[in-house]
Amino acid sequence: MLVYQDLLNGDELLSDSFPYKEIENGALWEVEGKWVTQGAIDVNIGANPSAEGGEEDEGVDDQVTKVVDIVDTFRLQEQPSFDKKPFIAYMKKYIKLLSEKLEGPKQEEFKKSIEGATKYLLAKIKDLQFFVGESMHDNSAMVFAYYKEGSTNPTFLYLAHGLKEVKC
């Protein structure tokens, strides 16, 4: 199994169990999330509780919740929305920090593609949800989510150069 960690702080943000599609010249990864149900599962095993001396409902307090699989699996933490100006400030800081970590061809590739990725994200800024990894570190990669037209499941966007592949 491959896990993709935030290159800056090591938070796990994605794994190969969630297939991605490269967009914006490989600068962004697009991943489809899904709403899933967690909690109680009503399984009828054919037993008759009243015949076995039990109550019809023995007071089990099962709570069912709906969560987005990627957010839940990687314990992503939602952040407040950005307007254009604070988003650009975040991206400038992130680009500087990430450029220092990348070397050689990776750094050149990043510098060539990040402008297009930033413009792509800016065009969707009003529709985006913002997430960071579990540690909520100040200098962390941001994961972006939005709903494609007509979809009930979110689509996640990752800045590809900010991810480090780790074999588990």
- pLDDT tens profile 61-98: 568 899 999 999 999 999 999 999 999 999 999 999 99
Least confident piece of the model among 52-56, 99-103, 142-146, 152-156:
52-56
Cα gap 50→32, rounded to integer Å: 45
Q: Which helix (H) or strand (E) holds 70?
A: helix 69-73
Name the 3-class secondary structure at 142: coil
Q: How many helices (H) and strands (E) does the chain have?
A: 3, 11
2-36+70-167: which CATH topology? 2.170.150
Query: What is the per-residue pLDDT for 146?
Result: 98
Cα gap 150→38, rounded to integer Å: 24
Dihedral sign, Cα of residue 22, residue 27, residue 32, residue 37: positive
Distance between terminal CA atoms of the chain?
5
Query: What is the per-residue pLDDT for 69?
Result: 97
Averaged pLDDT of the chain: 91
